[in-house]
C-alpha cells in the first residue's frame, strides 16, 4: 500500500490543468450562480480555479478517500444546485444519530460522534458496529447552498450579537434568538455555518467536510476541525494547508444569489407582507457587513422552531428543536427545504415552522389566498 503516498501529490497537482475560465461555458461567469463574486486579479483567479477544481474533484482511495467516514467522493457530489457550490436534493441528505433514551433524555452522542456514514468503506471496523439498540434517534440533514457565504463569513460578531434576545425581554414578541457560542482553541467564537451554526468559519468547514463527508485528513491548524489521521494506507495529512486554503478561497468568493429584479407589483406586495406578518424578525432582510448591507434574509441566530415533542440531535448550546435561521437568498433554486427536507415546497416550509415561529406561520395561514400567493412570489424572487 505504501506507493499510494507518492500518487497523491502527482494526482492532485494535475488538477491545476483541469481548468477553464469564468464564463467560458464550463465555469459560470462573474456574478452568476457558481461564478466568482467579482472580477478577480489573475493570481487570485488562478487560486479560485484551483479551489473549484478541488471542490469538483472525484477523490479516489489512492488519495485518501473514505476512512473513517464516507458520504460521497466529492464536495460537488452534494453541493450542485443550481451550480457547483450550490445545494443538494433530498437523495443527498446525510444522517446523524445519537441516543435520547426514547425521547426521555438526556441526549448523548455515541462514541465517534453523530455522523452516520452512508458508504462506510469495508476496511474500516468499529465505527458504526454498535448494538443497533444504542442509537434510538436519527436526524436527516439537507445539503445547503454555499453561494454567497463569504459575505456571511465577514459579518462582524458584534452585528450578529446585536440581534440577540435570549429571554424575549428586549422585544417581547415570542421570538428569542441566540448566537451559537463555541469555544475554539480555548477562545470564545460565534458559530455561523451548518444547520445548528456549529462551525464558525468557512475555512473550518473545509476541514470538517473533508473529514465527515469524504474521510480525508487535513493538517492541524490548532482550531480543532477535521481529522488529523485515519486508518487507510495514504500518508496523513491527505490534503495540504495550501489546498485547504484554495477550497476556502473558492467558497469565500462565490457570488451571492441575485434577486430576479422583477418589478411585478405582486412581488412588492409580498415583500411588505413578509415584514408585516413577522417573517423578517428572524429572516432579517439585511445584516451590516464590512462593505455594506448583506441581503441574505438571516439573523445567523438560533431559534426553536420545531414542535415541542421534536426529537433530534442536541449539541451544547443548541437543543433538539433549535436551528439557525437559514438564508433565503436563492431559495427558488434549493428545493426541498428545512434541515431535513420536510418542506417539499415553499408553502410546506412555512407550515413546518412551530414554536418561536408559530405566530408568523399562523399569520401566513390567515392571509387571503391572493396575499399568500404574493408572499410566495416574493420568496421566489429572492
Q: By CB under 6 A, name the binding residues for ligand HEC.
A: 71-72, 75, 77-79, 92, 94, 141-144, 146, 175, 193-195, 202, 205-206, 209-210, 213-214, 247, 251, 277-279, 281-283, 303, 305, 323, 325-326, 328, 331, 334, 337-339, 343, 346, 349-350, 353, 356-357, 360-361, 364
Closest C-alpha among 163, 171, 101, 106 to residue 136 = 101
Q: Backbone dihedral region of 349: left (phi > 0), alpha (psi from -120 to 50 degrees) or beta?
A: alpha
**CB nearer ligand HEC, residue 77 or residue 285:** 77
**CB nearer ligand HEC, residue 45 or residue 78:** 78
**CB nearer ligand HEC, residue 100 or residue 246:** 246
Minimum distance from residue 260 beta carbon to ligand HEC (Å): 16
Q: Please give the grid coordinates belonging to residue 32.
A: 452568476
**CB nearer ligand HEC, residue 23 or residue 37:** 37
Minimum distance from residue 306 beta carbon to ligand HEC (Å): 7
Q: d(Cα 354, Cα 362) in Å, to the nearest integer? A: 9
**CB nearer ligand HEC, residue 77 or residue 317:** 77
Minimum distance from residue 263 beta carbon to ligand HEC (Å): 21
Minimum distance from residue 45 beta carbon to ligand HEC (Å): 19
Minimum distance from residue 266 beta carbon to ligand HEC (Å): 15
Minimum distance from residue 2 beta carbon to ligand HEC (Å): 26
179 and 301 in contact (C-beta within 8 Å)? Answer: yes
Closest C-alpha among 308, 300, 274, 293 to residue 382 = 274
Closest C-alpha among 75, 93, 98 to residue 85 = 75
Q: Among positive and negative, which fits the CA dihedral 365, 367, 373, 378?
A: negative
Q: d(Cα 344, Cα 365) in Å, to the nearest integer? A: 17
**CB nearer ligand HEC, residue 151 or residue 202:** 202
7 and 233 in contact (C-beta within 8 Å)? Answer: no
Amino acid at each position: 500500500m505504501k506507493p499510494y503516498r507518492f500518487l497523491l501529490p502527482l494526482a492532485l497537482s494535475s488538477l491545476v490543468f483541469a481548468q477553464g475560465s469564468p464564463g467560458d461555458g464550463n465555469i459560470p461567469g462573474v456574478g452568476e450562480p457558481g461564478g466568482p463574486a467579482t472580477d478577480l486579479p489573475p493570481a487570485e483567479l488562478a487560486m479560485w480555479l484551483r479551489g473549484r477544481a478541488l471542490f469538483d474533484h472525484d477523490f479516489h482511495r489512492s488519495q485518501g478517500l473514505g476512512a473513517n467516514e464516507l458520504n460521497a467522493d466529492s464536495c460537488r457530489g452534494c453541493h450542485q444546485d443550481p451550480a457547483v457550490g450550490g445545494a443538494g436534493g433530498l437523495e443527498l441528505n446525510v444522517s446523524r444519530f445519537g441516543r435520547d433514551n426514547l425521547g426521555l433524555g438526556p441526549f448523548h452522542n455515541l462514541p465517534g460522534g453523530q455522523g452516520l456514514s452512508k458508504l462506510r468503506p469495508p476496511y474500516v471496523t468499529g465505527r458504526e458496529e454498535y448494538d443497533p439498540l444504542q442509537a434510538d434517534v436519527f436526524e436527516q440533514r439537507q445539503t445547503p447552498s454555499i453561494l454567497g457565504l463569504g459575505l456571511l463569513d465577514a459579518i462582524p460578531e458584534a452585528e450578529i450579537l446585536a440581534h440577540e434576545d435570549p429571554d424575549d425581554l428586549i422585544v417581547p414578541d415570542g421570538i428569542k434568538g441566540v448566537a451559537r457560542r463555541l469555544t475554539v482553541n480555548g477562545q470564545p467564537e460565534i458559530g455561523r455555518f451548518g444547520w445548528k451554526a456549529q462551525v464558525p468559519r468557512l475555512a473550518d468547514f473545509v476541514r470538517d467536510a473533508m473529514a465527515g463527508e469524504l474521510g480525508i485528513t487535513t493538517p492541524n491548524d490548532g482550531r480543532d476541525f477535521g481529522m488529523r489521521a485515519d486508518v487507510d494506507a495514504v500518508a496523513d495529512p491527505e490534503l495540504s494547508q495550501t489546498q485547504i486554503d484554495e477550497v476556502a478561497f473558492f467558497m469565500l468568493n462565490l457570488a451571492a444569489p441575485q434577486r430576479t429584479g422583477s418589478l411585478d407589483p405582486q412581488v412588492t406586495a409580498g415583500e411588505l407582507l413578509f415584514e408585516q406578518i413577522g417573517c423578517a424578525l428572524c429572516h432579517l432582510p439585511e445584516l451590516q457587513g464590512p462593505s455594506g448591507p448583506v441581503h441574505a434574509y438571516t439573523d445567523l441566530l438560533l431559534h426553536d422552531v420545531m414542535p415541542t415533542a421534536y426529537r433530534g440531535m442536541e449539541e451544547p448550546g443548541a437543543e433538539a428543536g433549535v436551528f439557525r435561521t437559514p438564508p433565503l437568498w436563492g431559495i427558488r433554486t434549493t428545493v426541498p427545504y428545512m434541515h431535513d427536507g420536510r418542506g417539499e415546497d415553499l408553502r410546506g416550509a412555512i407550515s413546518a415552522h412551530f414554536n418561536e415561529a408559530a405566530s408568523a406561520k399562523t399569520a401566513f395561514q390567515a392571509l387571503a389566498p391572493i396575499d399568500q400567493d404574493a408572499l410566495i412570489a416574493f420568496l421566489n424572487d429572492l
